[in-house]
Amino acid sequence: MTLKRENVLIEALPYIRKFHNAIMVIKVGGHAMVDKQIMSDIIEDVVLLKFVGIHPIIVHGGGPEITEKMNRMGKKPKFVGGLRITDDETLEIARMVLVGNINTDIVSLIGKHGGKGIGLSGKDGKLIIAKKMAAQKVMIENKEQEVDLGWVGETEIINTEILEIVTEHGYIPVISPIAIDSSGRGLNINADTVAGDIAAALRAQKLILMTDVPGILRDIEDKSSRISRVKLEDVEKLVREGVISGGMVPKLRGAVTAVESGVERVHIIDGSVSHSVLLELFTDTGIGTMVYRGEDEE
């Protein structure tokens, strides 16, 4: 049965009231990055959040676009543990794609839908100061080896001042995950990790991570096996069991960092569902997986 419009609005009202003046960090990635209509729907949701008194902050990825650009340039991408190995050339390609293309496109979409977007990378105002990630231990042909990921970083400091200034003046920040180290060198950081770090630094009420699946699935082939709620203490167990693997690992570990640092809830949702942000935030059932502290039962 189709819900009446007034019932939809009434169901949303308590959530709008609860989230008024809240900071929400929204990481956009996956299929949404290559489907213009899906991206438009997401940005329309984000602009609506701003107009109902919420302060959204967008962090975007761009893995598929970086990979496509590398392939066109005859450079084969390499990954370890869901993280891209980044040499000098790969870092420059990532910067061009993330800062020069995707970021500006999202800012333009915000303007199209009536909002005010402002594009930032981690280099702007020293927004994200990072250090080069240490070599990672991985299993290669049943042997543990250390692999240098190149110019891949991990966050040391988030300069929240610049984000607080622009959000208070009505802007929606759009952040590319290119950071800077203490010597001024650029570093590429996993966008899910950056989103978690920013949400933690701001003590955001919500962190929303978009992906191409309905959330965490017990069986990756069965969308009906979605786990709707995951306690913080159960995340590493799910990693050990293999339920969480590949690119979902940094996503969930970013979620853990955020919740441990004061973010109330982290939501992992399918960005390809039309208006998925509104459905997750403003309806009783939601559509994704929520990560939360075990003692914070709702």
Span 165-207, pLDDT tens digits: 999 999 999 999 999 999 999 999 988 889 989 999 999 999 9
Q: Tell me if residue 176 falls in helix, strand or coil.
A: strand
Please give the pLDDT value at position 273: 81
The pair of three-digit structure tokens given for residue 75, joined into one six-digit string: 């450079």
Mean pLDDT of 134-161: 84
pLDDT at 247 over 80: no
- C-alpha dist (Å) from residue 142 to 31, 145, 149, 193, 257: 33, 9, 20, 28, 30
pLDDT at 78 over 60: yes
The pair of three-digit structure tokens given for residue 13, joined into one six-digit string: 């009202």
Q: Residues 26-49: pLDDT tens digits?
A: 999 877 777 888 899 999 999 999
Please give the pLDDT value at position 125: 92
Centre a 10 Å sphere on the Cβ of residue 123 and count the other Cβ atoms it contains: 18
Please give the pLDDT value at position 1: 42
Mean pLDDT of 57-61: 95
Please give the pLDDT value at position 163: 96
Instruction: Select the more confidently predicted residue: 19 or 214.
Output: 19
Q: Find out whether 178 and 235 touch, Cβ atoms under 8 Å.
A: no
Rounded CA-CA distance 274/211 in Å is 13
| Residue percentage of the chain with pLDDT more than 70 | 94
pLDDT at 143 over 80: no
Q: Residues 110-125: pLDDT tens digits?
A: 999 999 999 999 999 9
